[in-house]
Amino acid sequence: MTATAVSPRMDRAVESLRRSGNPFRNYFARNPDDEVCARYHVPELYAAERNLLLSIIDLYRYDPNTHSEVIPVLGNKGAGKTHLLHSIKHGGDGAWQLLVTPGTYQKDADFLEYLLFQIIDTLLGGGRQRGVRPLDHIGEFVVRRLLSNAISALPNEKKLDLIPAPGLGRWTRKLGLGVSQSLDRCQWLVDYVGGHSQLGRGQMPVAQALAEAGVSTEKAIELIEAYVEKAEAHNTAGLMRREIYKGFTRAHLLKDEAKLASFLTHDFVEMPYQVRPSRQDLVLSLFKVMMEVFRALKTPVVVAFDQLEDLLLARRSDDAHKVAETFFAGIVKVMHQLDGVCFLVFAERGLWNRFVPSLDGYIQDRLNNPVHVPDHGTVKAIRLEAPPADLVRKVVEARLEGSLRDLRDSSEFDGLYPFTEEQVRRIAVTEPTLRDMLQQCRHLFDHIVYDAESWSGASNRISDPADEIPMAGIPESRLPADSYVPENVTVKSVEIIRVDESSETARGAMTPRGMTELWAQEQRSAMRKLMPDGAITGATREIQAGLGAFLQTCHEHGVKLGPWRLQHVVPEYSFGEHPTYGVASIAHWACKDGQPWKVGIGLFLARSAGKPKDLEIKLSSMDTEPTVIDHLILMRPEDDLALTGKSKTVWQEAEKAGKHARLEPVSIEILGMLYSFPRWLAAIKEALPEGQPLPNLADLIQEQCEKLLEQVCMPVQG
């Protein structure tokens, strides 16, 4: 291939592309919250499948008592399953739903318990769905409904007390003047809060409606709480609903999330039960009440499991069949216990076809149960096929748009520059998945933009040796109707393009720098989710699971600290009857040839009234026979490290009983690191070529987590 002269305009174009970088470098979505998905979204891609999924979710919106069902979304690795999930969670199509996307699977935990705390974490966390935090969205509608009902239930004389009279109005009311205006004002507030106002105006935000009506926030809260006390039953479910409604009201109107977070993680256990329920019964009771709250708002609860293989098989040594059977049996059990939960399982076809046929018959029957969807028929599974060439072109154009922004003013360059129509079409018809197509575009861009000797100015494009290679061997089913494949093909020349395997442009490479960048990205995402006041409390179980995954990875990759080595790890050890506080991780640490220490590491995150109870339950983990924990490390937020009152008494009694324990102060950054750790591992695994083992992470972990290792890995200080 000979280089020909190019115009200064072409020279500047190439330089512009080089400066902007390769837009195909991020060719896969790390998780359903990956911002790359929104940046390069093409609405036409999988539009039919997305509409079908939204129609299935709407079944639970219009009939909240719809039986819980599982919808498999199947496609090859790289087909675009995670991007599709992102478009449902964050896109503008359809109405809002509470979409829970677990980043971990806690295989040693009770499935119902695991699922409940995934929902609580999503509800209280700082992550946004369609631009709004779930707590804000649901809180608005809970308060709107309660306020409207509370005002409507008031007698007229109480309504007059609700709306303050200006000036001398309180005196004129005694004479019967201005009463109708005040009652009209109350009705105006009900109409605007409920969205039934005249002139076609929609619902007004509750806070704005209260301000315009002249009703103080404190008076509104008092009114709602009085209504809830009167309206709710005095049985267990009614008591739980009462506290949840009060928590939502204070969280939304006062921005005080402590009451709601405390109830969902601790206070529900301490309610005045006539007969003390078991741990499983407590979890089921709270779960049912939360589902009732969501159903009353016609808010579907959707639990979407993505990247199933990495989610289930966090360790390649795990028994795949056993883990899969536990996972699917857990889903089926929840389906029998609760209505109104829509399960979406995004899985590779091969994985699904390997796991499901080996399960027990009753599990298979529930997983394969079809769902009837109006206008779509009966659906057993949704399958994602490779997109046609015209959609691949749109995807490529979306990627190139930012790089071409400075070149748009010239007719010399179209939306595919520096590619040709033929190059994109060839990639579309020869590659099996969207990810493979983007990888090919990535290599092609690197070659034709950064290899200065391979331009061809004759076509105002940068030429590629692949243009000379005919399309022999491509299945006819993948070729466009007007394609012609010659029968006798002679390859005149072949140019081999070598890619430096040590560089980050290598196909599927995962360098230390790339892993560090992923670490930083996941850490930033975790910090955003944990910033709200109630988020850390709501994420307690998820952070504990992250700690277990961290210790397990340290064990498998040979992480050490001085003379100490890990011999065994139990990622999640459950004990007692408290679903939130009764869990810890266990690490067996040995020093040279000495006897190993059985070290329990737990999160001690409770605040206010829950603090002594959390401490008491954690310390009780050392009471079991035979002994499973010799030394207990409790990780306590650094801004509340001191033990006072009941907590101090509990600690002193434990010391007198001969229990070995210590407190370690942790920052929100450390908690964010633990929260993000399983997601970081999953992102690395997803970036690796199929079949390639995870690289050794010991050096990176010891570099990034030196402080944390010192806190959780030393059985004794000094």
CA pair distance 542, 127, nearest whole angstrom: 14
Tell me what the pLDDT averaged over the chain comes to. Answer: 84
Strand boundaries in 357-438, DSSP class E: 371-373, 377-379, 382-383
Place 281 in a pLDDT band, splitting at 50, 70 and 90. Answer: very high
Contact 145, 297 (CB under 8 A): yes
Could you report how far apart the first and last alpha carbons of the chain are, in Å? Answer: 69
Please provide residue 586's backbone torsions phi and psi, each rounded to the nearest 5 degrees.
-125, 130
Indicate the DSSP class of residue 695: P
CA pair distance 172, 459, nearest whole angstrom: 87
Read off the amino acid at residue 628. V
CA pair distance 165, 638, nearest whole angstrom: 49
Checking if the pLDDT of 630 tops 80, the result is yes
CA pair distance 588, 628, nearest whole angstrom: 10
Which of the two residues, 589 and 158, has the higher pLDDT score?
Answer: 589
CA pair distance 437, 387, nearest whole angstrom: 10
Place 588 in a pLDDT band, splitting at 50, 70 and 90. Answer: very high
Chain-centroid distance, C-alpha 127:
8
Taking CA 588 as the corner, what is the angle to CA 587 and CA 594, rounded to the nearest 5 degrees? 155
What does pTM read for this prediction? 0.86
Which of the two residues, 460 and 114, has the higher pLDDT score?
Answer: 114
Cβ contacts of 675 within 8 Å, gap of 6 or more: 526, 529, 530, 539, 542, 543, 546
Place 437 in a pLDDT band, splitting at 50, 70 and 90. Answer: very high
Q: Nearest to residue 513, comparing CAs of 505, 500, 504, 522?
A: 504
Contact 96, 48 (CB under 8 A): no
- Domains of the chain (ranges; CATH) run 8-25+388-478 (no CATH), 35-129+286-383 (3.40.50.300), 134-270 (no CATH), 516-712 (no CATH)
Please provide residue 419's backbone torsions phi and psi, each rounded to the nearest 5 degrees.
-90, 165
Please provide residue 347's backbone torsions phi and psi, each rounded to the nearest 5 degrees.
-140, 155
Place 286 in a pLDDT band, splitting at 50, 70 and 90. Answer: very high
Chain-centroid distance, C-alpha 369:
26
Cβ contacts of 553 within 8 Å, gap of 6 or more: 559, 677, 681, 697, 701
Each residue's pLDDT tens digit, 226-247 = 999 999 998 889 999 999 999 9
CA pair distance 428, 438, nearest whole angstrom: 10
CA pair distance 245, 241, nearest whole angstrom: 6
Angle between helices 668-687 and 512-530 (to 10 degrees): 130
Chain-centroid distance, C-alpha 238:
30
Q: Nearest to residue 292, comparing CAs of 235, 217, 330?
A: 235
Cβ contacts of 438 within 8 Å, gap of 6 or more: 24, 27, 28, 395, 399
In this prediction, residue 197 carries a pLDDT of 47
Each residue's pLDDT tens digit, 691-717 = 788 889 999 999 999 999 999 987 655
In this prediction, residue 483 carries a pLDDT of 39
| Residue linked to tokens 């009900």 | 190
Place 449 in a pLDDT band, splitting at 50, 70 and 90. Answer: confident
Checking if the pLDDT of 472 tops 70, the result is no
CA pair distance 89, 34, nearest whole angstrom: 11
